[in-house]
Amino acid sequence: MKKFKDKSLFSTLEVAKILDVSRVTVFNRIKSGEIDAIKVGRAYLISKEELDRYLGKEELTEKRKHEINQNIDLILSEYGKALKMLGNE
């Protein structure tokens, strides 16, 4: 993805090359909602942020970190004993 490093928007062909899939696959993922795209005329454009999100490279914001920590606390409060028992097996 080095040659695409400074871009902010990607065509479906560029995304297909980055993901090593066909353009049809990219269109299907857009249609299914897996990839969020902007329709410009007959073409679709995918933002760098969306591509990073899809690839799992999005940076965690402080708000998102806080949400994750709240969810962890909730899970531990509800399932803490069960998790400890599983950890001892």
Query: CA torsion, points 54, 60, 65, 66, in degrees to nearest 10?
Result: -100
Tell me the residue range of the domain where 23 lies: 1-58
Same domain? For 30 and 49 the reply is yes
51 with 86, same domain: the answer is: no
Among the listed residues 82, 78, 18, the one whose alpha carbon sits nearest the alpha carbon of residue 46: 18
> Which pLDDT does position 44 carry in this prediction?
97
Mark whether 6 and 19 lie in a shared domain: yes
> Is residue 52 domain-shared with residue 65, that is, in the same domain?
no
Q: How much of the chain is in helix, strand and coil states, percent to nearest 5?
A: 65, 10, 25
The pLDDT, as a whole number, for residue 37 is 97
Cα–Cα distance, 22 to 77 (Å, whole number): 45
Which pLDDT score is estimated for 84? 85
pLDDT digits (tens, 9 = 90+) for 47-73: 999 998 898 876 777 888 898 999 999
Please indicate, yes or no, whether residues 75 and 54 belong to a single structural domain of this protein. Answer: no
Same domain membership, residue 48 and residue 10: yes
Summarize the confidence of residues 12-36 as an average pLDDT.
Answer: 96
